[in-house]
Structure 1
Amino acid sequence: MLRLGPAREDTNVVKSQKECQEGPVKALYAAMETAPAIPHACANWKPDGNNCMNNGKLACGGCRLLAYCGKACQKNHWPEHKKVCKSSLSKPGWRPRWELDGREPAWASGDLSRNLHNPYGGGKYLWGNVPAIDILRLEQNEGYDYNQDLALLFAASGDLRNVVKTIGSLPSQYPGRVQVCINDRELHVVMRNATLLLLALTSQDARATGTASEPYAVTETLIHVWYSAFLPPKVSSELQTRVKPLIDEVCCGIAHRPADTLLGKTWRFPSGSTLRLVLKKEDWLLFQSFVAVPKGLTEDQARKILVAVTLAPERADYRDRWYFKDETPSMRIAKQRFREDGLLFPFGHPRHEFRIPNPMFFQSSRAWPIDDQADPLSGWPVWEVRRTSCTASQDAYGKLFVYLGVVVGKFLHFLDAGTTDFELYICDVTALPRHLDLNRYDRIEVANISDVGYVGTRGVLATLMPVLRSLKQNPHAVLVTLYLNAVMEVIKGGPEKDQVPDVGLLTQYLPSLRFFPPPTNNSAEMLRLWDARTLALDVDKFFERYMNIHQFREISRDLKVEMKANTVTESWPTQLKLQPGQDGAQEEFDALLGSSLTGLEHYVEWKRAR
């Protein structure tokens, strides 16, 4: 039997001094360090619904992944919990199966050996793969007391994380209107975003009339619709009663319109906010069925569809490789649980009500839409999530759930207090300006379509700079580009020595490489070293080469734009900040290595030259 321990703060937190001194981040940390609004249930529950109804107060002293109300519940639940708490994944000396079997991993031979990436599963990007950013950072730019209207453009939005974080970071007393234009070329993404916004806006109006659930229940609904593969009846009902009637009404009104007609609908809410969605007629009809579970799809079928990707037997070696670089055994266990049930919840929370397939994911009875590396943790700032107060201090997804409760709650609070106009489009970014006004936007965020494989730097700036406000209109107006592939493109195209990892630096973080015989190419240690190599690069040197190769200076001259010092985003947000041996340096390295981040994520900010 394992001991119970009191709740304790995760001390393995690294944050820059600059981050902690900034107003909005400091306020967010303060909110996260208070008791969460969404309570953690005692982990003593049974699939038949026989649950302890108390809150969890004392963490399991072994894994610190879940919490109980007291020792009696822990003792009662131990036969079930020991299956994970004492599992092989929980052992500090855990090794990948291919090593235990004495064989090469799956990617070492055959067709897989000729493909470095080997993605598996659906190809849609429904969650973010880089941490969310506040694209305004009003206090550091226009100023906390700024009172003019704001216009924001998310030109290749992906999911809503940047929208939610930005709006939620605005002062609640901000007096202006906020115009938010959100575009993506993937219909599935746009319909998900529209659904979440309709849920948020209708819940605000319901609260105004006294017919809505408690604020934390609305927040939890949005989190599960966004991230959980299965929903409880109450959340599923919210989709059917709040969103579907709005779409049905539109489809009824356009029944006689030509098939390829582009049609816009603006919903006006009593709060004063609006949402405008522009789709082709056939896409409106698809949206009508999007919020309903596909006919004939059962819970059992949906679970098989999920694990056919997330737990595919042929991907076991890949999962073992990822687990081996996780910072703690508890993180391995938490990730395995999320792969098994697809629910974004604290580890020990009851799950028996979550039986209805979430139509935001299940749009057919054949395929899971995202790949097997997709992870909700990838879309949110590592250190903000880690700093979140949680009774079970090693429960990464529980911390994320609490963190999102704060972030989404602040977003909903602003919708209560302010007036926001949302516009949603589905088109290629190069066609987007025909729908927009010139000189309109205070911020433009484009994700990584500035990478060479997409629109590229020149294409993005030529297309979107005309809709950014001039310096005369707003001297803080900024277009933000993100580069995910730039550094590696330069390295691969350069001399071979650039591709050699900085083993001297990395072995200061991975001491096992110093004390054991040299690992083989496919040993777990060597693969972990290879995966860590991007955390030890001179990124500024390689990006300087990238700018020369792709003629940033000529682009600036031709388009009359300028790169500027970053005031909205951190230039290299995922690079190591501490030196080996400094307090917290090992924890910083371990956390980044165990994440899906590479350390090569780079933001560049642009302004109009006049």
Structure 2
Amino acid sequence: MITDYRYYREILARLQKPVFSIAHNTGFNASSTPSLEAYMSYGLGSGIHGKTVSELLCSNASNRGAGGVSCSNTGLLACTQCSLVKYCSGRCQRQHWSRHRLVCEHPYLDSGWEPSWIIENRQPLLKDPTFLPPSNSVEVYKNSGYPPYDILQLTCNEGIDSLDDDLKLCMTAAGDIRNLVETVNRLPPGYSGRLDILLNNNNTILVNRMLVILCVLLSPGPSVEESAELATHLMYSASLPETAASYMRYCTNLIYGECFSEREMSFQATLRTRGRGKIYSAQPTVSIKRPTEMFSSTYSLTKALDSRREVIFDPLHMDDRDRILSGLKPAHRQALNRFWETGVLAPFSLDLRTFNCPNKLMFTPRGEWIGLPSDANPLQGWDVSAVRRAGIRHGLDPAGDILGCLFFHLKSELREFSSRIQEYNINIHLLQYDSRLLSKGISIGVLPAFSEAAFDRIDIGDMADQMGVAECLADWGPLLNRKNSSSCLIMHSKRWYEESPNSIARNNPRALKILTERCQATPKLEAPAIGESLGLYLREVHSIHSKRIGVPLQSGAQKLPNLSKEEFYDLFTIGAADLTIRFAEFGCRLT
């Protein structure tokens, strides 16, 4: 009889590992009795047989080694030439070289690589850097030009004496769930109040994408680990493993299947979460027709990926791609190029053969990708220093596989968010209405959860760039909680300089010097007279977000980022933060 010692070793290793529980890595006290989900798997992970990815495996796992057996050992030794992959031994590295050399000898890894317009000695054809897409744009990869931030900052505002207070937050132009996740994840330990968070956007695709992602992430059933990994792919990957795609279809049926009726004027859904709170959604019925067609369409993976590649590698946008790559370090260029080619956010060495279904949150009903080629940088709008730390914790080298680091960072943040939803009393209200109409509806009490029309925080995003500061303050200023001295309305602007001549410098050989001088002397964002009439005032000292990206919140007098070369690279080069964005905060006078 042949004894399979490796099988028994794997069984023993599983028995010796601590049982995963909801409280794992969240800061909460673990229950003495493991939850049922600790023993169950829905197979929603990215690895073989639907396992979740928690450590970096030997890169030879994506190849067939001697005897047709894949290596399943942990990757320990990094490729010294590219830092993108790891191997368990020199033997596996040699076996994998015939495939890895295509990566390791790629021109993008050459420190002397230059954009095509330099090689061809011509002027680059680039998009206008001042162009801003309309507010109802549906690009999947159009991330904001700033890292996610906590719109509550409870300890810096209401303080630790308010840990049992009920609070209401509003994000009127939420394009994704990143600020929602950041806000919940930064709640101080011991918060016991009820938190109601309203997210609104008039773009039906964006709202329903968020709704499906939240349903996948927060619905009871799969483990927190599995749900977080699938939600990570739903946010950034163009394809999914078959089991993950099936679970996403289950969630879309849960949301729209039985409740949807075209005879009703309004579509409403209430979804359970892992905790006491719920997810509520209200939208005009006519608005959800297109997203439901997207989620139930039947195009092939080949058609979807071909459509995405046609956009990403459009020859007319070649110079825009090269512009992005030209500022990156060689290994980061190759990592981003792999993401462009595969469309999957994952560790560089992960075997992607199981990703055989399109992610229908990213394609039209006909299988056309809804993205822009020059904005397909998933690191845009992330704190890359935190991304690096997450990668290191999982055995990755941030000098190479920076997108693998982002995979683990985002998954960790979503896992923490899901665990906190289970522990705290948090309700999420997801709406799709015109901002002006919504503010008037709230003011007359059409939303029961917000019948008092008193928010402790209101984040209007960049709506002032489309509607004007005065109109935004008139719509939303009266909805601040006048009984809370810390209540605040926050906005940001990319177009503030249009009313401040010579405040920025472009196409000028002395641009850096001029930019520095102008930033030092830039006039404050004008607080219109309507602000005073509404009992609002423009804050001199911010308590939610600093006035400029890269400046610490606590450094009120600091006007410009004071960053090392590496910090600047992380925030403004590979992180693609927008240095011209300015934030403003309006407080309210107490009644």
Aligned to 1:539: 519
- Answer yes or no: is the 8 Å Cα contact 2:110–2:330 preserved in 1: yes
Whether 1:418 aligns to 2:398 is no
SS in 1 for 2:455: coil
Relative to 1, partners in 2 of residues 1:303 and 1:177: Cα closer, same or farther, differing over 3 Å?
Answer: same
**Equivalent residue for 1:320, pick from 319, 322, 332:** 322
- What does residue range 366-515 of structure 1 map to in structure 2 within 5 Å? 367-372=368-373, 373-390=375-392, 391-394=396-399, 395-436=401-442, 437-451=451-465, 454-470=466-482, 473-487=483-497, 489-490=498-499, 493-494=501-502, 498-499=505-506, 501=508, 503=510
SS in 2 for 1:604: strand
Q: How far did residue 151 of structure 1 move?
A: 0.8
**Equivalent residue for 1:133, pick from 141, 146, 149:** 149
Aligned to 1:568: 544
Q: How far did residue 555 of structure 1 move?
A: 3.5
Relative to 1, partners in 2 of residues 1:126 and 1:102: Cα closer, same or farther, differing over 3 Å?
Answer: closer
Relative to 1, partners in 2 of residues 1:318 and 1:131: Cα closer, same or farther, differing over 3 Å?
Answer: same
Whether 1:283 aligns to 2:282 is no
> Scaled by the length of structure 2, what TM-score is found?
0.80
CA distance in 2, matches of 1:268, 1:338: 34
Deviations for 1:281-339, whole angstroms, at most 9, x for unmatched residues?
A: 233444444433x22x111111111111111122212211221122x111111111111
Aligned to 2:445: none
CA distance in 1, matches of 2:511, 2:437: 48
SS in 2 for 1:153: strand
SS in 2 for 1:44: helix
Number of residue-to-residue matches in the alignment: 513
SS in 2 for 1:427: coil
SS in 2 for 1:482: strand
Aligned to 2:564: 585
Aligned to 1:221: 230
Deviations for 1:532-588, whole angstroms, at most 9, x for unmatched residues?
A: x96x564252343xx3xxx425243233201122111122123699x9xx9972223
**Equivalent residue for 1:71, pick from 90, 114, 118:** 90
Gaps of 5+ in 2: 1-25, 28-51, 443-450
Aligned to 1:19: none
**Equivalent residue for 1:263, pick from 254, 260, 267:** 267
> Scaled by the length of structure 1, what TM-score is found?
0.77
CA distance in 1, matches of 2:198, 2:62: 45
Aligned to 1:38: 54
Gaps of 5+ in 1: 1-26, 29-35, 207-211, 507-532
CA distance in 1, matches of 2:563, 2:93: 33
Relative to 1, partners in 2 of residues 1:104 and 1:603: Cα closer, same or farther, differing over 3 Å?
Answer: closer
Relative to 1, partners in 2 of residues 1:65 and 1:234: Cα closer, same or farther, differing over 3 Å?
Answer: same
The one of the two structures with greater contact order (alpha-carbon pairs below 8 A, sep at least 6) is 1
SS in 2 for 1:434: helix
Moved more, 557-566 or 40-49: 40-49
Aligned to 2:352: 351
Deviations for 1:140-186, whole angstroms, at most 9, x for unmatched residues?
A: 22224521111110100011110111112213532111101110010
Aligned to 1:3: none
CA distance in 2, matches of 1:313, 1:172: 51
CA distance in 1, matches of 2:274, 2:512: 58
CA distance in 1, matches of 2:63, 2:345: 18
- What does residue range 99-248 of structure 1 map to in structure 2 within 5 Å? 99-107=118-126, 117=131, 123-127=137-141, 128-129=143-144, 130-144=146-160, 146-202=163-219, 205-206=220-221, 212-213=222-223, 215-248=224-257
